[in-house]
Every structure is written in structure tokens, then in C-alpha cells.
Amino acid sequence: MNDIGKLVKSLSFIEEFVETTTTLATERNVQNLLSKVLLSARNFTNCDAGRIYVLDVTKRMLQLRISQWEDESPDPGWYQVRDFGQVGSLAANDPLLYCGMTGSVVLIDDVYSYSGFDLEYIYQHDQDSAVRTQSLILVPLRDHDGQTIGVLELINAKDAYNRRYVSFKSLEPIICAFAAQAAVCINNALLIETNNHLIELLNDTNQRLEEENRQLKERGSRKQEYNIIGQSESMQKVFGLMEKAMDTGVSILLTGETGTGKEVFARAIHENSVRKCKYFVTQNCAALPEQLLESELFGYKKGAFTGATTEKKGLFELANGGSIFLDEIGDMPLNLQSKILRVLQEGEVRPLGGTTSIKVDVRVIAATHCNLGEKIEKGEFREDLFFRLNVFPITLPALRDRGGDIKLLLDHFVSKYKKQYSKRVTGISPAALDVLLKYHFPGNVRELQNAIERAVLLCEQEGAVLIEHLPDAMQQQVRSKVSLAGRTGGTLVTPQPADQRFSSLKTAVNAYEISVIEQHLQANNWNQTRTAETLQIPRRTLIDKMSRYNIKTPDRKRRRSLQ
């Protein structure tokens, strides 16, 4: 070929090279880009085959990403991933590890007569694919910072005219130049791929957080919808247990003192579960005689007993697909307990006078204020029924153990009953509030609710709830404390001279004022604005008194001065 022909060929080659690298720079899909890079490299070198190996995101594992042999893509199952964490003789003997770690070009003209590197992976490939590798070149792929991101491997270079195998030696400069350009394109595509993956993960995480936030809002709305008021730690535990059992069919046993609101919680569980479209029926097991209670629960056939002139469905059958609330289950007669056990075990009921059983699907929520363990020991309650009912126990806390919830409930009931009875009530007087916050409430929420309803009815229009509007039991508690305060060891305190009595009175007034302020602060979760409102004093006055008496928030050491 003359000089002009060589020049024309060189210019054509350069033009094709520039066009190819420009095309590669616009490809963003990593696998498509690798395929184009390898095909372009094979076209430049006129070789039979090639492979591209890429390091994973940890920059440690060298993985085979694409392999081409003429017009075929061989199975990459023969390839063993290289670990860049391995050093020593293995790295020195393996050509892929050596090329990737040192950044050196590996060129072998005759693979089967070469005795330097361990080429077992080539021999294995040739055997599996029924081909023969004659020569190869390994070129490192490095990013713009000079860090290795992979290895380009080309196999069996041929002369363009007579198709004979030739050495890659003369092609090494153009291969290295192409590899440098291709590495930048590959690195950019890998970064884009990683960023897209991170964006997808972030979007998925945001969607999950939005869903969790939606569920939390739904849970919060459930509490208000069914008048379950409570922010104390003990109530949060109850709400958490309710959520876990809500959509299951598991039996629930509600325990706790009288008046803690067992039926309210049972109804909330049903109304927020998958059974909410079916009936929620209730039955107090202590309210009816045994035979009447049995007929209510299981129903009866016509003529089953005297007076059974028609057929009646029992509560279990009516609640099919829904829930039944058995209140005071601890007072149920023993004979009926065995029949309840059969419903829980077999899911079927038999009406009085009936000959066949009826299948039912009912969620049983039972409640008791009794100690069922003691009743079992006395033989008054079946142990096997207890285990069936106690699959998911929930203990409702007493009102005295709910801290600041008392103030929330007070506000709720005052608002409810002044609206119900059209009374314009300004609130609860500080003295009455002090009594309510100190009272132990043996009747729990029911006692509190009844006390506030009565107080709202008794108080004057435009007035506040006073101590005299509260039940006698609460007033008696105040009188008892005043009486005890006037005695020391059962002996009346001797009157002091005038100047000493004045000093004692001042100390007593200051002490009482500190006590009232602290109680109101605690009731309002140390919110000064709300405390000032309940005390019916300006907020600035409250702050001045707190400063004068050294009343500190709970997280600081509190020092008092009565002088």
C-alpha cells in the first residue's frame, strides 16, 4: 500500500474512532454501553472475541459483565469472580488480578505455549465453549482519577486481509487510548446507575414513611373517634397492644378495675378491625340467671322450653362474622363455661332444643375485674377456658396510674356535659381541681365521669365547678386532710402568741400556694400558659410566683424558700 493509501486509511480510522467515542459518551445504560464498547474494540482490532470485567461498588470484586465471541455470547458460568482483597502469589499468578491491581497491560501471543500466568480460566472457557484462544491482551480501565474500575480483555487478533492470527503488540497503543476513553464513559454510566438506584431506594423509603405516617394518623384518629382519651405511657402501651391484635381473630381478655372502660376499648377494637361491617354484640354475664343467659347466647328452637313459642337466634349467631363482648366473664356459671369453650375450640353453637350445630365465625372479647387465677384455684372458673380466652391479654390501667390523663378527661367531660345540658360553665375552680387531682378514684373513669356530670348540673350559669359541687366522698377526703393537719400525733396544737401565729400563718399560706401551683403545673404537663388559665391568674403573675418560690421544671433541681 502506498503512502497516500496509508494516509487515507489512517484518517478514516481516526474519524471512526472519534465518532465511536462520541457515541459511547451519550449512552447511559451500563449494559448497553459495555456491549458497544466491546464491539467497537473488536472492530478496531479485528479480533474474534472479548470480555469486559467491572469492579463492584465496593471496588473489591471483579465481575464479568459482558462476553462476546464472534456472533455469540457464551455462558459466563465458567468464570470465578476475582477478589481484590486477595494478595500474594494468587494476585501475581492471575492475569486479571495482576492487570487490575497494577494497572499494567498483559499481552500473550500464544496462550497454550505460555508458561507465565495461570491461564486456567482460559482453558476452562475453551473446553466448555469448544473454541480455542490463540492470543489475548488485558488492558486496565481507569477513571479520571486513575482508579481501576475494570479490565478490557480482547482475544485472537487477525490480519484484516488474510485473516491470519497476529500479535496485539502493534495494536497496543490504540487499544490503550480507546480503553482510556471508554473507561470515562463507563465510569459516568456506573455513577448514573448508582445514583438512579439510590433515588429509587429513597423514593421507596419515602413511600414507606408516608404510609407509616398515614397509619399513625389513622391510629390517632381512632382514639379520638371512640373517646379513648389518654396520653400517658400506660395508655400508649394499651393502644399499641390494640393495634397488634386489631385485625386478627385472636381472643382478647380485657382485665382491670371496675370503671376503666372495658366495653369502650372492646368496641374500639371491633370498629377498627376488618370485622367492623358486621355486628358487635355485648352481654353482661353477671346480669342474667344461668338458663336465661344460655338462651341469650345460643338461642333456642320453638318448643325448647315452656314459653318458647317462636325460634330465636342467639348472640353468637347474630355476631357471625363480627365480634361478641362478654363482660364479667368471671361471674359466668360453670355449666355455661364449658359451652363457651366449645365455641372457641370448634367454632360452632347449638341452640337450646336443637339437634344440629351451627358454624359461626366470631371474635370473642371477654372482660373481667376478677382475679381469674384465684377463681380457678377455688374451682369457680375453668382453667382450659381461661387459656382459650387469655390468648391476648390487655390490662387496662387504673385512673390513678394514668398521670396527666386525669386533666384531659376532666376537660373532656366538662365540655361534653355543659354542651349536653346547655350550661355555660367557665371551668373548674383551682380548689376543686386540686381535690380532683389528689383523689384516688376507686371507680376510675366511670366515677370521674359521673362526678363531673353531677357537678355541671349543680354549678351556676356562668360559674365554675366548686368543691361543694363534688360528691361527698371527694369532699370528705379534703375534710379529713384538714383535720389531720390540725393535729400532731393525735394531740391538738397549742395556740401560739400573736407574732408567732402570724409567722406560722405566713409559712402555711406560702406552703399551700407552692403546693397548689406545683399540682396545677403537673396537671398541665408544666405548661405555664395553661396552668395560669386554670389558676385564673395572669401568666406573668404565675412566672413571678415560680421565681419567688424557686419552683423549677422537673429536669432541674428544685429549691424552695418559704420566707
How many whole angstroms separate alpha carbon 288 and alpha carbon 522? 44
How many whole angstroms separate alpha carbon 112 and alpha carbon 126? 11
Is residue 126 packed enough to be buried (19+ CB in 10 Å), middle (13-18) or exposed (0-12)? Answer: middle
Q: Would you state the pLDDT for residue 159?
A: 83
Beta bridge partners of 53: 64, 151
Higher pLDDT, 358 or 58: 358
Assigned C-alpha cell, 319? 355476631
Beta-carbon contacts of residue 352 (< 8 Å; ≥ 6 apart): 294, 295, 298, 299, 300, 301, 304, 305, 308
Mean pLDDT of 325-331: 94
Q: Helix or strand or coil: residue 352?
A: strand
pLDDT reading at 508 higher than 90: no
Grid cell 429536669 in the structure block, residue: 555
How many whole angstroms separate alpha carbon 360 and alpha carbon 338? 17
pLDDT reading at 485 higher than 60: no
pLDDT reading at 40 higher than 90: no
pTM of the model as a whole: 0.51
* Pairing, β 323-327 against β 363-368: parallel
Grid cell 348472640 in the structure block, residue: 315
How many Å from the N-terminal Cα to the C-terminal Cα in the chain? 116
Q: Would you state the pLDDT for residue 393?
A: 95
Mean pLDDT of 360-367: 94
Q: Which CATH class is domain 233-397?
A: alpha beta
Assigned C-alpha cell, 500? 408567732
Q: Would you state the pLDDT for residue 9?
A: 44
Q: Would you state the pLDDT for residue 410?
A: 93
Q: Would you state the pLDDT for residue 195?
A: 85
Mean pLDDT of 439-457: 93
Domain 499-563 has CATH 4.10.240: no
b/e per residue 412-447 (b: at least 16 CB within 10 A):
ebbeebbeeeebebebbbbbbbbbbbebebebbbeb
Beta bridge partners of 138: 106, 153
Grid cell 481507569 in the structure block, residue: 142
Q: Would you state the pLDDT for residue 557?
A: 42
Quickly list DSSP for 145-200. TS-EEEEEEEEEEB-TTT--B--SGGGHHHHHHHHHHHHHHHHHHHHHHHHHHHHH
How many whole angstroms separate alpha carbon 108 and alpha carbon 99? 13
Provide, rounded to the nearest whole percent, the portion of the chain with pLDDT above 90: 37
Domain 3-193 has CATH 3.30.450.40: yes
pLDDT reading at 12 higher than 80: no
Model pLDDT for residues 282-326, shown as the tens digit of each residue:
999 988 899 899 999 999 988 878 878 888 999 999 999 999 999
Beta-carbon contacts of residue 425 (< 8 Å; ≥ 6 apart): 414, 418, 456, 459, 463, 464, 465
Assigned C-alpha cell, 216? 399513625
Is residue 512 packed enough to be buried (19+ CB in 10 Å), middle (13-18) or exposed (0-12)? Answer: exposed
Beta-carbon contacts of residue 44 (< 8 Å; ≥ 6 apart): 13, 17, 171, 174, 175, 178
Mean pLDDT across the chain, nearest whole number?
83
Q: Would you state the pLDDT for residue 25?
A: 72
Report residue 447's pLDDT band, with 50, 70 and 90 as the boundaries: very high
Mean pLDDT of 182-196: 86
Grid cell 471508554 in the structure block, residue: 182
Model pLDDT for residues 60-89, shown as the tens digit of each residue:
889 999 999 876 767 777 888 888 876 555
Alpha carbon separation from 141 to 13, 116, 138, 154 (Å, rounded): 22, 23, 10, 13
Q: What are phi and psi of 142, to 5 degrees?
A: -120, 140
Residue 442, Ramachandran bin (φ over 0: left; ψ between -120 and 50: alpha; else beta): alpha
Cα angle value 382/387/391 (rounded, 5°): 145
CATH code of the domain made up of 401-487: 1.10.8.60
Grid cell 377456658 in the structure block, residue: 385
Q: Helix or strand or coil: residue 373?
A: helix
b/e per residue 345-365 (b: at least 16 CB within 10 A):
eeeebbbbeeeeebebebbbb
Report residue 152's pLDDT band, with 50, 70 and 90 as the boundaries: very high
| Ranges 201-205, 214-218, 375-379, 409-413: which has the least confidence | 214-218
pLDDT reading at 218 higher than 70: no
List the domain boundaries for the chain. 3-193, 233-397, 401-487, 499-563
